[in-house]
Structure 1
Amino acid sequence: MRENKYSVLMSVYKNENPKYFKLSIESMINQTLKPNEIVIVKDGALTKELNEIINNFEIKYPNLFTIVNLKNNVGLGKALNEGLKKCKNELVARMDTDDISIDKRCELQIKEFENNNKLSIVGTIIDEFYDKPTDIISSRVVPINHEDILKFSRRRNPFNHPTVMYKKSEVLSCGGYGDYRRNQDFDLFVRMLNSGYVAKNINKSLLLFRANKDNLKRRKSWTKCRSNISMMHDFWKKGYSGLIDLFIVATSQIVVFISPIWLFQWISDTYLRKKY
């Protein structure tokens, strides 16, 4: 018997763009295989516009939405943990509040779980855009099979977080998202892989990722650099990554931090993204 029920998990906070938020929800409602639950975590108090969007969807789609209200802003990882506890289905599809899922995304992911019941995580490639979803600027291509995912994860995140569908019980068995303000997903996925859970990425772009022209500046900030090195150091201490992996990541992060923006742009376009 086909198991086609799944939950969608999203977290929203006050600085989100209402227009983008609405589009992201609509992209999940309009899936060819529709969710029977969408869990939205309000990570602290929201603006009037964001609350109105949620209220309108609740009225239009009764019994579809589960809203989790958090008094204070706790950050993405902790917010997702609270939402995950409320998901009623074993399979949970992550979605960010400013991206757009392709309509067949969840149907194709469900098929992967049906074909291999040992899978715990299924992600996809993403296409990135600035203003118009039809104007793709680049893609983040991730490894497809489990062995390549394991190898890739020694140094870099092998998943595009907004695309993943995973098994709730197995995420929770690994402790859920860690207490990080950044890279919460990378930390979780490494712990799951290190615990023996099996993963796969679909070799298709099934999500349109809303990039920003200031993304490069944020990615080369000292906060981001220090966070990445600290997390890789934790992976090394736990025996997941080797000393060479730690050295390469630490060196590359420092190079990114001290490089002029034009050089980092070249590095990103040449090694980190498939550029169009």
Structure 2
Amino acid sequence: MPFCCGGFLAILEYFKIYFWCLSMELLPFSVLLSVYFKESALYLDAAFESIWDNQSLKPDQIVLVKDGKLSSELDATISMWSEKLGPVLTVVELKENVGLATALNAGLDYCDYELVARMDTDDISLSERFYKQVSFMTHNRDVSVCGAIVEEWDERCLVRLSIRNLPSCHEGIMKFAKRRCPVSHPVVIFRKEAVISSGGYPVVYPEDYPLWIMMLSRGYKFYNVPEVLLRMRAGDEMLCRRGWGFFLGETKVFYLMWKLGFTGSFDFFCNVLTRGVVRLSPRFIKVLLYKFAR
């Protein structure tokens, strides 16, 4: 169960909005993805199935950024989906691998609609994801970023490992953001102009956390749908990625938070210390922390 100021009342309000939106004309939206050469063609195909074949509300546009040269298997999968989707799919080709932040900023320029849903090319969106998030954003024009609860699964999506619960309401998100990333990037939907006016994705890893901090500092309103709307492939590969380099990136984020006045000096040192323990621990300790401390 997600936690939030307001608790049950916040969830009740969400469902009231959801059923009210059944009779509304929903806003059009784009889906933004980026793929690079190390990714799996099978996972990419499954991701496309989840955002098109299996969705109750299909996107008006899908923007896929090819971040540098890809494998022949990935190119074949993209060609197959280009033929299937026709003008719905916009493929943006970058000559060199530039990293996720720069690739997403390039892709944003090609998104035709104000609402943009993020999706990673190895995750699975549940069938009602877009309907529920777009319904919420259509009704709540004051909200700029909307996330949801994510289930973390093993790499083959056979075993559920954990659930990442997050606060729903803006006040809870503001408080949570002082310690941890307050929305799950692969399941977020946002207003394009709000992201661009905040400077877009900063070229740092992780790229999403500092963007949310910049937006929260500028007064943009956030919300997390209190339901599971995405399955994320986690497992050993994700744990390996979140080591020394990830820790250095997070330290830069914590410094940004302190510099903006979002947190104080005590928060900064606590954040760096706790993150250092998590990111620099042996793998078996990381596994336990991710399992029991999410």
Q: What TM-score, normalized by structure 2, do the two folds share? A: 0.88
Alignment of 1:197-212 (within 5 A): 197-212=220-235
SS in 1 for 2:224: strand
Alignment-mate amino acid for residue 45 of structure 1? K
Note if 1:4 corresponds to 2:27. yes
Segment drifting more, 85-94 vs 257-266: 257-266
1:226-247 CA deviation, whole Å, 9 max, x = no partner?
2211221121112122212111
2:199 equivalent in structure 1: 175
1:240 equivalent in structure 2: 262
Q: 1:269 to 1:79 in 2, by over 3 A?
A: same
Q: Is the 8 A contact 1:155 1:241 kept in 2?
A: no
Note if 1:126 corresponds to 2:150. yes
Alignment-mate amino acid for residue 293 of structure 2? Y
Q: Is the 8 A contact 1:4 1:33 kept in 2?
A: no
- Rounded to whole Å, the distance in 2 between the matches of 1:214 and 1:186 is 20
SS in 1 for 2:152: strand
Q: 1:194 to 1:18 in 2, by over 3 A?
A: same
1:150-178 CA deviation, whole Å, 9 max, x = no partner?
11111210011000000011111111101
Note if 1:229 corresponds to 2:251. yes
Alignment of 1:47-58 (within 5 A): 47-58=71-82
Q: Is the 8 A contact 1:124 1:163 kept in 2?
A: yes
Alignment of 1:63-142 (within 5 A): 63-142=87-166
- Rounded to whole Å, the distance in 1 between the matches of 2:161 and 2:143 is 31
Q: What TM-score, normalized by structure 1, do the two folds share? A: 0.93
Q: Is the 8 A contact 2:27 2:115 kept in 1?
A: no
Superposition CA RMSD, Å: 1.5
Q: 1:216 to 1:46 in 2, by over 3 A?
A: closer
1:199-251 CA deviation, whole Å, 9 max, x = no partner?
100111100101122433432x2222222112211211121222121111111
Alignment-mate amino acid for residue 208 of structure 1? R
SS in 1 for 2:28: coil
1:56-91 CA deviation, whole Å, 9 max, x = no partner?
111112111111111111100010001011100110
Note if 1:216 corresponds to 2:216. no
Q: Is the 8 A contact 2:210 2:256 kept in 1?
A: no
Alignment-mate amino acid for residue 268 of structure 1? Y
Segment drifting more, 250-259 vs 240-249: 250-259
1:121-140 CA deviation, whole Å, 9 max, x = no partner?
11011111114435312111
Gaps of 5+ in 1: none
Q: Is the 8 A contact 2:115 2:192 kept in 1?
A: yes
Q: Is the 8 A contact 2:129 2:229 kept in 1?
A: yes
Alignment-mate amino acid for residue 185 of structure 2? H
Segment drifting more, 240-249 vs 34-43: 240-249
Q: 1:3 to 1:251 in 2, by over 3 A?
A: same
Q: Is the 8 A contact 2:124 2:232 kept in 1?
A: yes
Alignment-mate amino acid for residue 42 of structure 2? K
- Rounded to whole Å, the distance in 1 between the matches of 2:236 and 2:284 is 13
Q: Is the 8 A contact 1:7 1:37 kept in 2?
A: yes
Alignment-mate amino acid for residue 249 of structure 1? N
2:18 equivalent in structure 1: none
How many residue pairs were aligned? Answer: 270
Distance apart, 1:269 and its partner CA: 2.2
SS in 2 for 1:208: strand
Alignment-mate amino acid for residue 7 of structure 1? S
Alignment-mate amino acid for residue 238 of structure 2? N
